[in-house]
Amino acid sequence: MNKYFEGSLYLNFYLEGVAGFLGSILSLAVYKPIKMRWSFIISVTVTFLGLVGLLVFQQGYLSPIWIKYFLVQ
């Protein structure tokens, strides 16, 4: 679905890769101390917040222009 998002295709894939990497690292760190139930609640909450962020950026209510400052030029 990345090719249908606004903006650069390369930037979209780059951000998806970073999100996947961070998600893998954080899931291991979260699951061990708090186990299954709370891990599920936290993951659903983070997913919901990401969905809201995606909708807000896609509808143009906020601009994702600040992301370019974190990219290596």
pLDDT digits (tens, 9 = 90+) for 23-46: 888 888 878 888 888 888 888 998
DSSP 8-state secondary structure symbol assigned to residue 73:
-
pLDDT digits (tens, 9 = 90+) for 7-27: 788 888 888 899 899 988 888
| 67 CB-side CA count, 13 A | 13
pLDDT at 64: 72
pLDDT at 73: 64
Position 5 pLDDT exceeds 80: no
